[in-house]
Chain A
Amino acid sequence: MPLLSIQNLNTVFYSKKGEVKACSNINLDLEQGEIVGLIGETGCGKSVLGMSVLNLLPNNARISGKIIYKDLDLLNLPSNKMRQIRGKEISLLPQSPATSLNPVVKIGSQILEGFQLHRGMKKDIAINSSIKILNLLGLKNSEKNFKYYPHQLSGGMKQRILAAISITGNPSLLIADEPTKGLDALMKAQVVDLLHKLTKETGTSLLLITHDLKVASSLCDEIAVMYSGEIVERGSAEKVLNNPYHPYTQGLLKSMPEKGLHPIKGYSPSLLEKLPGCRFYSRCPLRNNKCNNSEVPYKEIDGTYVRCFGFD
């Protein structure tokens, strides 16, 4: 049984302009200790999917479908039970370290509150444990840092502090939301190293949300490619990145600088738009009449699930 199983997940935001369908019919499984990458361009609904699992979306969002974690149905859990899951079972490594730490609360307190809540530790024991974790993450002199406020730390330090916070509860699943966004090459490598260490040493599963294909390829076991709210291709990282089937995945890979920087023409459709067929239709080089008219089913080709009529 998978650790996390997302079944037919639909996340809709109700806005003044209409219904924004950020995730539609998402199916995704994550095994214990596995690293699954969720890749796709900005605005395709990757982060919303991650936040749906934690049930941390704004009030105007409606989530339907099923999210099964261990044997709990997360979407039907009372809010107090869901709160106990957060941080302890499933935790979040948020994007943008610059804004994800509370600017008016000391670092120490922000790290320790998780320890005290999830492990019932006394303050001095919690301090020792968090220093151990910060050392593991390569942050020396961490006791001194405890007295600082976030604005007194560098971006890399904040990232590590956030990483430490996300593993304080010893979670079984970590959701990393664009952990390398806006970082320079050196920092990026450090974060990849960090995530690798975290998952391999503790056996934590990782749902890695990223638009950085290089980061995804160096970390992930499995990869799901998202486009305009849907998963269009899903399979082992090696196959998806080296031998992609879906024209979007192919286009995404071609747009990498190493592969000649050929961007996909056109724009992805607004999530407000309801389309009868494939959402990639207008940009697809392989489109035919069928694509624009009927719901596209998943097709299994050589262990990879692809949502495209092009392989019939």
Chain B
Amino acid sequence: MLAFIAKRFLLLIVVLLGVTMMTFLLINIAPGDPAEMIAIARYGLENITADEIEQIRQSEGLDDPLIIQYFCWLGHVLKGDFGRSLITGDPILKEISARFPATMILAFISLIISLLISIPAGIISAVKQNSCIDYLTRTGAMLGTSIPNFWLGLLLILFFSVTLGWLPVFGYGEVRHIILPSITLGTGLAAIITRLTRSSMLEVLNQDYIITARSKGLYEKCVILHHALKNALIPIITIIGMQLGHLLEGTVIVESIFAWPGIGKLLVDSIFARDFAMVQACVLLFAILFVIINLVIDILYMFIDPRIHYKKEG
């Protein structure tokens, strides 16, 4: 078990090296001179001179070869120093830790909402297969997977904020502010989990051990929730784990739509401003989260499926 976790952590290092290298490359391939962008941000478009741009290039190390820039950055990160924002000059760590909770709250609430809707909906849909409620759920789930969240977000704003005036268009800090963003973010996940719960339950309900459970005279509730759901949860957990990554991805779009002060919006803003250091730090954070979620899911398996043990190989 411990060996398994240690192995996964070693893998984490490799993954993170790859991810940071890729982003470093991609940012530098993108058009536009970073030194110029930084100069504009610092001094304003009218006031910059070629000398100032050159000076920034020198002081930020932007004329060094890419590989040197990368290892220079890596060296600092290993010491816990993420550097300062190229635009505002504030420490990056401070900025990220200030915004991190907002993203986590949004992702967490979205996850909870989508699980609360999708798992019961999937179970009911499977138990009452081919009934009216099953068709409704399946239609809803199909719509949910097909609607892109940037469109859903705008639609929700138009309806609930502009037309009805019930909820604010954007803002942060109160319960009413999180309702629309979390629904926008959670819908896709809820739809996927609903479909998966339904199909997984349908498969499990056909198994021999369900007949055994029924033949004991158990209450149908016990058969469904204890015997069937426990088995059906195994693939569901896998997909939730994989989809959590997409949920983080979704925060980038949803936070931008609702002006939610989280990492996602920070990332988008930094990309537009060519704040390399900030982009790198955000991407690193997302990558770490992604890998840790996967690790947690793998460990969770052991508690759900007693047949899985990481102690013995193979």
Query: Interface stretch among A23-31, A89-97, A196-204, A244-252?
Result: A89-97
Min Cβ gap B118→A in Å is: 21
Does A263 sit at the interface, judged by CB under 8 A?
Answer: no
Q: Note all chain A residues with C-beta closer than 8 A to B246.
A: none
Q: Which residue of A lies closest to B306 (CB)?
A: A149
- Which residue in B208, B226, B307 is a CB contact (below 8 Å) of A94? B208
Q: Note all chain A residues with C-beta closer than 8 A to B115.
A: none
- Which residue in A56, A106, A114, A165 is a CB contact (below 8 Å) of B211? A56
A89-123 at interface with B (beta carbon < 8 Å): 91-92, 94-96, 99-106, 113-114, 117-118
B212 x A86 contact (CB < 8 A): no
Q: Note all chain B residues with C-beta closer than 8 A to A92.
A: 211-212, 215
Q: State in angstroms the CA–CA spacing of A99 and B304 once bound together.
A: 18
B206-221 interface code vs A (CB 8 A; 1 in, 0 out): 1111011111111110
Q: Which residue of B lies closest to A60 (CB)?
A: B130
Does A88 sit at the interface, judged by CB under 8 A?
Answer: yes
Min Cβ gap B314→A in Å is: 15
Q: Note all chain B residues with C-beta closer than 8 A to A102.
A: 209, 212-213, 227, 230-231
A141-167 at interface with B (beta carbon < 8 Å): 149, 151, 162, 165-166
Q: For chain B, what secondary structure do more than half of its interface residues adopt (helix, strand, loop), or is it mixed?
A: helix
Assuming A85-B217, A103-B231, A105-B230, is B306 touching A151 (CB within 8 A)?
Answer: yes
B212 x A91 contact (CB < 8 A): no
Assuming A83-B220, A149-B307, is B208 touching A96 (CB within 8 A)?
Answer: yes
Interface size class of A (residues with CB under 8 A): 35 or more
Q: State in angstroms the CA–CA spacing of A282 and B216 once bound together.
A: 42
Does A59 sit at the interface, judged by CB under 8 A?
Answer: yes
Min Cβ gap A83→B in Å is: 5
Min Cβ gap A311→B in Å is: 39
B215 x A56 contact (CB < 8 A): yes
Q: State in angstroms the CA–CA spacing of A59 and B202 once bound together.
A: 12
Q: State in angstroms the CA–CA spacing of A162 and B222 once bound together.
A: 19
B217 x A117 contact (CB < 8 A): yes
A151 x B216 contact (CB < 8 A): no
A20-68 at interface with B (beta carbon < 8 Å): 51, 54, 56, 58-59
Does A294 sit at the interface, judged by CB under 8 A?
Answer: no
Does A135 sit at the interface, judged by CB under 8 A?
Answer: no
A100 x B217 contact (CB < 8 A): no
Does A288 sit at the interface, judged by CB under 8 A?
Answer: no
Does B129 sit at the interface, judged by CB under 8 A?
Answer: yes
Q: Note all chain B residues with C-beta closer than 8 A to A58.
A: 206
Residues of chain A at the chain B interface (Cβ within 8 Å): 51, 54, 56, 58-59, 83-88, 91-92, 94-96, 99-106, 113-114, 117-118, 149, 151, 162, 165-166, 168-169
Which 5 residue pairs are nearest across A and B when measured between Cβ atoms? A87-B217, A92-B215, A86-B217, A99-B208, A87-B216
